Each structure stands twice: as C-alpha cells, then as structure tokens.
Homo-oligomer: A and B are copies of this chain.
Amino acid sequence: MSSWGNAVKISLFGESHGEAIGVVIDGLPAGESIDREQIRLQMGRRAPGKDRTSTPRTEKDIPEILSGMLGDRTTGAPLCAVIRNTNTRSQDYGNLMSHPRPGHADYTGFIRYHGFNDIRGGGHFSGRLTAPLVFAGAVCRQILERKGIKIAAHISSVGSMEDARFDSVSIPAKLMDRLSTVSFGLIDQGREEAMRTLIEECRMEQDSIGGTIECAITGMPAGAGSPMFGGIENVISSIMFGIPAIKGIEFGSGFAGAGYRGSQNNDAFYYDGDTVKTRTNHHGGILGGISSGMPILFRVAVKPTPSISRQQETVDLQEHTDTVLTVQGRHDPCIVVRAVPVVEAAAALAVINLLAEVSE
C-alpha cells in the first residue's frame, strides 16, 4: 500500500513515466501557514542534476497544489499536490518485461502484479516517488518548526568514508538549520571534496556506492509515542522503509550498542535545571518507544544504486533462459546524497503523527 499514517495520512500515487506523481495529505490541522518557498527548497534538495555541476536545479518539478489550501493557509481539508511527468512516452504501452534489472523491483513487481505493472522507469517503484514524499514532509516540518521541533540529516558515510556524527546530547540549532537546507549535507564540511571524489570514481568505474544517513530530531517533547507497536521506532521505521534502497535502521547506539555492556550503554539521568536529561544518549531519545526529551537519533543504511552501466547477469522472463543485461542511461552513482532530504521528510511525517497521538 502506498498510504501511510493515522492522524495525518498520506496517499502517494504516480509512476515514473506516467502522467504525474503526487500525494494527498489528509488530516492536516487547519489554519497553518505554509511557505511555498520552503517547499521548493526541500524539493530542490532532492531534485536530480545538481551533483557535479552545481547548476541550479531544473524547475520542472514544481508541484501544483490542487486542494486543502486557501491563500497560504491550510483549510483542514485534504491537501493534494501533483507533479507532472515530462518524460511520458505513450508509445511504450507494450510493457514487455523481459530482463529484470538486478537489485531492482522489476522481477518482484512482475510477480506481484502478474505482469501488469508499469515497468517504464521503475513505475510506481521508482525513486521519483520520493518527490511527493518530500513535498508532504516540507508541509509538515513547517508546522513542527513552529512547535520548536527541528529535523535534520546528513550523509554519515559513503562506502567506508565517514562524516562526523551528531553530538548525541546537544545539537546546535544552527547545525540543524544548515543541514536541513543544503544539498550535500555533512557535519564536517571539510570531507565534502573527498566524498565527491569517491562518488565520481564510482561513476567513472561504471559502478555505484552505498552509504548511511544519520538523522536527528530536536525539540521533541518527552512523552510522545506509545508502548509496544505504537513506539517511535515502530512508527519511524514503518515509514522509513518506504524509501527505496533503505535496507536498515538503527536508533541511538543501535548495532554498536549491541556490542556494549549494560554499564556502558545505560544513560544516567540528571536534572539540568528543571529538565530531566541523560548524560549520554545511547537510547537515541527513545525509551520504551516513548521520547525522553533528548534528541531522537537514528541512522539508515542505503544500498548502492542498483542501476550500474556494467553488464550483469539476469534472466529472460519470456524465454525462460539466463541472459545478460546492460542498463542504459545516466544514473546517480550514489543515491545517498539525494536521499538525505527524503529521510528528513519521512521523519517529519512520523513526528506529526506521533504528536497527534500524545494530545489524545
């Protein structure tokens, strides 16, 4: 299903080479002022074509808002935004799936939809569907920002090359603001050139590379989330795996913490004035599924772009034989960079739903 959420629901639609992609957001509070420039900024961070060139993004992906807003304010009715596809090729109706691309959903989609799915450009499985997700997140994060909640992510690694990590107990607002607006988000900006070089090398080798994204949520009040299946980890992971290429998630000390002793991993409580804080934040701001008031921290694993220009083994689903395939076209050698704002957007949707439950 391409729908997600409870208090604030999103319903994503569209296929890579269909007429349009878009989203309906149902359950937004009424009267919220939404700055369209902020939306454009977020969508620009995700848009393709910035990588080596630093040219301004092509302006094609401007969403049209069809409903749910009057002037610059939400009406409380469902907000629908549509982004037209410009690369529609109606002559491709043949839809002959023969050679599924390794690492893509071509084969599984073929089975799931009995061969009727739109395979052009990945169809509904395309990373392009993250554009309306970024749109929805850009709307929600403006509402959250007014509640003092900030969301920012950065490229925590590309291959084995790592960025610095967030200071888990104290993250400057200035850093949050910078990361949530830039296109190549690093805490240690000094590593950008080396990372770009590594990515460029992969491209030259007709290869791609994976990485990780670390995301922080600051300003989250203590007491949000519910035990068991309504926990913050459950809610965040249930939307985060909707982003193509994400294959892992960890909160706080996560997998590293699984190697720790309890005496090392437990976070001591103390009073900072009237506020209960923890001296360390291995719990990633979440205990028993509920926010502690410390920064919420999680990290996702992004697999290397499966589209590579090298010849690969695959099958011919029509002929039932083994064969080879060379994927054509120009592809992002490292999807991690553009996935950063998508992770933030998905986090914004998770947070706005978690907060709605608290007020109940």
Residues of chain B lying within 8 A (CB to CB) of residue A86: none
Given contacts A22-B66, A255-B255, A270-B322, contact A114 B31 (CB under 8 A): yes
Measured CB to CB, the closest approach of chain B to A99, in angstroms, equals: 9
| CB atoms of A249 and B266 under 8 A apart | no
Asked whether A109 is an interface residue with its Cβ less than 8 Å from the other chain, the reply is yes
| CB atoms of A313 and B268 under 8 A apart | yes
Would you list which residues of chain A between 18 and 41 have a CB under 8 Å from chain B? Answer: 18-22, 24, 26-27, 29-31
Given contacts A262-B304, A267-B102, contact A3 B234 (CB under 8 A): no
Measured CB to CB, the closest approach of chain B to A19, in angstroms, equals: 5
Most chain B beta-carbon contacts within 10 A, residue among A9, A208, A303: A303
Asked whether A187 is an interface residue with its Cβ less than 8 Å from the other chain, the reply is no
Asked whether A343 is an interface residue with its Cβ less than 8 Å from the other chain, the reply is no
| CB atoms of A254 and B248 under 8 A apart | yes
| CB atoms of B249 and A228 under 8 A apart | no
Residues of chain B lying within 8 A (CB to CB) of residue A322: 269-271
Asked whether A149 is an interface residue with its Cβ less than 8 Å from the other chain, the reply is no
A209 contact from B2, B67, B261, B304, Cβ within 8 A: B261
| CB atoms of B102 and A268 under 8 A apart | yes
Closest B residue to A133 by CB, please name it.
Answer: B228
Given contacts A241-B237, A301-B258, contact A13 B67 (CB under 8 A): yes
Give Cα distance in the complex from A141 to B310, angstroms.
Answer: 42
| CB atoms of A77 and B6 under 8 A apart | no
| CB atoms of A103 and B265 under 8 A apart | yes
Measured CB to CB, the closest approach of chain B to A78, in angstroms, equals: 4
Give Cα distance in the complex from A260 to B269, angstroms.
Answer: 39
Asked whether A55 is an interface residue with its Cβ less than 8 Å from the other chain, the reply is no
| CB atoms of B229 and A239 under 8 A apart | yes
Task: Pick from A45-53, A170-178, A189-197, A285-293 the stretch touching chain B.
Answer: A285-293
A249 contact from B123, B249, B317, Cβ within 8 A: B249
Most chain B beta-carbon contacts within 10 A, residue among A4, A228, A238: A228
Give Cα distance in the complex from A282 to B226, angstroms.
Answer: 33
Would you list which residues of chain A between 156 and 190 have a CB under 8 Å from chain B? Answer: 157, 159-160
Give Cα distance in the complex from A167 to B115, angstroms.
Answer: 31
Residues of chain B lying within 8 A (CB to CB) of residue A356: 360
Asked whether A44 is an interface residue with its Cβ less than 8 Å from the other chain, the reply is no
Asked whether A230 is an interface residue with its Cβ less than 8 Å from the other chain, the reply is yes
Asked whether A105 is an interface residue with its Cβ less than 8 Å from the other chain, the reply is yes
Closest B residue to A78 by CB, please name it.
Answer: B13
Residues of chain B lying within 8 A (CB to CB) of residue A18: 66-68, 70
Residues of chain B lying within 8 A (CB to CB) of residue A223: 108, 111-112
Asked whether A218 is an interface residue with its Cβ less than 8 Å from the other chain, the reply is no
Closest B residue to A108 by CB, please name it.
Answer: B290
| CB atoms of A315 and B261 under 8 A apart | no
Asked whether A305 is an interface residue with its Cβ less than 8 Å from the other chain, the reply is yes
Given contacts A14-B67, A30-B117, A242-B229, contact A301 B76 (CB under 8 A): no
Asked whether A200 is an interface residue with its Cβ less than 8 Å from the other chain, the reply is no
Query: Please, what's the 1-or-0 string for A86-123, where 1 marks a CB less than 8 Å from any CB in chain B?
Result: 00000001010000101111011101111111100001
What are 6 A-B interface contacts by the 8 Å CB criterion? A2-B78, A3-B229, A14-B67, A30-B112, A75-B124, A262-B305
Q: A104-B287, A108-B291, A250-B250 are in contact. List 16 more A-B contacts (CB 8 A).
A: A2-B229, A14-B67, A70-B116, A73-B116, A103-B265, A107-B292, A108-B290, A111-B223, A125-B227, A234-B241, A247-B253, A248-B251, A260-B303, A269-B322, A270-B313, A271-B322
